[in-house]
Amino acid sequence: MNFPRASGILLHPSSLPGPFGIGDLGPEAYAFADFLEAAGQSIWQMLPLGPTGYGDSPYACYSAFAGNTLFISPEELVTIGLLARDELANAPEFSSDRVDFAAVHAYKDSLLRSAFIKFKREANQELSAEFRQFCDQHSSWLEDYALFRALKDEHGGIAWTGWSPELVTRQPAALKAARERLKEEIEAQKFYQFLFFRQWFALKSYCNDRGIQLVGDIPIFVAHDSADVWTNPDQFKLDEAGNPLVVAGVPPDYFSTTGQLWGNPLYNWDPMRAEGFRWWINPVRATLEIFDIARIDHFRGFAACWEIPSGDKTAERGRWVEAPGRELFTAIKNALGHVPIIAEDLGVITPDVESLRDDFGFPGMRIVQFAFSSDTNNIDLPHNYHKNVVVYTGTHDNDTAVGWFSSVAGEGSTRDAEQIEREKQFCLKYFNTAGTEIHWDFIRAALASVANTAIVPLQDVLGLGTEARMNLPNSTQGNWAWRVRAGTLTNEITSRLKDLTELYGRAGRE
């Protein structure tokens, strides 16, 4: 599928500014959409929107279908009468630069509980009817998800494998008793999802009306501690107690000398195949209801997965195991038609991965930051692109452009000082620049390229350093927390980005 020539910005909603400790779907999200329109951008790319669990990673969510309730805007709840304005007056003094997920959860969960209580006590008929319709429309996943979250809270947050055996194995009598016992909390969890999607689709409509398409990720793997695995254990390689036999990751690579140990359970493809890949078709359908375009994370895993023995501390002892990607995407195409998908084809890319991507017409990715590690034949160098790719200056897993340019050798790095300097000099020569505004050199190269789609992380537009990095692969501390400060997107930045976008024929509609 060839996308029209366009450009956009990568920014997860959590990184938006605002007074409540984390970006949300309120006024600042609409202001960011206005910035995109003013800067000539027509794409807003995000990470997965699901409810995050341990480690706060959007790639390890409690559900492949649910939304992250931390993104619910308290101000919008005031607007529809579920919170009083003075309930927001005593918000803690949150950092404007970093998300403190524990503190934000405590604060926002309390607000959501208050909103639910008021809804139960005073809800008008129109909102109640909307809620009932939402529950009916999404019952295929919402019932199990709400029960999962209610049980998880009842058990103090421990993983589902630590629950009583009759709940772990989903015995009908135990599930019925839990639904009766936790009826109020189950309804609350459904209501929180209703609020999330109500706000989400309002924002999506606002963006689409301004010519902005939303791009979102489909993680190739799901978290073990999730409603998805608890309700579909036969679809995953688990032991009799529900624990993973093998887990996901990648071998040693650019990001880590010991590989990346993600820890997600791996798919049991035979039962999936027997059910016509139902498990995969449903999340893809759901993703394309909330996003205009889906980026499938770790696409190479559909040709072969790196299987790591459960219990290993690094990814080094893994092995490649074939996956039925061709059968899967044929089933998705038969069920959903031609779908707008971007393939995240980074890592160890072999001919079978390229064939799978190209035969289904999915554009792959190019990363400017990876362009200088070899010679002029490097596929990430802009002169080697073709039209049906998506070019990024960097991704959420990369350092920022400024951080990369300023990097030094250190523990865990795959590059020594000599290689870093060699890449830096190649970069300066290639861009014919002194490097004083290296982030704009990166942006210009991406926008000027023949690639149909160019995406720039907001950190690179702002010229921020390593302190603004979103994620350091194979690490567990300090990730996903970066936030942009209010007022940072100046008229000068907006104008400069728009000028380059127009110059290289990528501008959105006027």
Active site residues: 297, 344, 397
Query: What is the distance between the alpha carbons of residues 76 and 206, in angstroms, rounded to a whole number?
Result: 15
Q: Where do we find the tokens 């690579």?
A: 253
Cα 139 to Cα 155: distance, rounded to the nearest angstrom: 24
C-alpha span between 277 and 175 (Å, rounded) = 26
Cα–Cα distance measured from residue 499 to residue 510, given in angstroms and rounded to the nearest whole number: 13
DSSP 345: -
Token pair 């909390």 in the structure block, residue: 185
Cα distance between residue 368 and residue 391, in whole Å = 7
- Residues near 129 by beta carbon (within 8 Å), at least 6 away in sequence: none
Pick from 280, 307, 276, 300: nearest CA to 356 = 300
| Residue 429 three-state SS | helix
Instruction: Select from 29, 37, 27 the least CA-distant residue to 11.
Output: 29
- Over 476-509, what HEC string results? CCCCCCECCCCCCCCHHHHHHHHHHHHHCCCCCC
Helix 183-209, helix 101-122: angle, nearest 10:
100
Give 22's DSSP letter.
S
98: β partners: 482
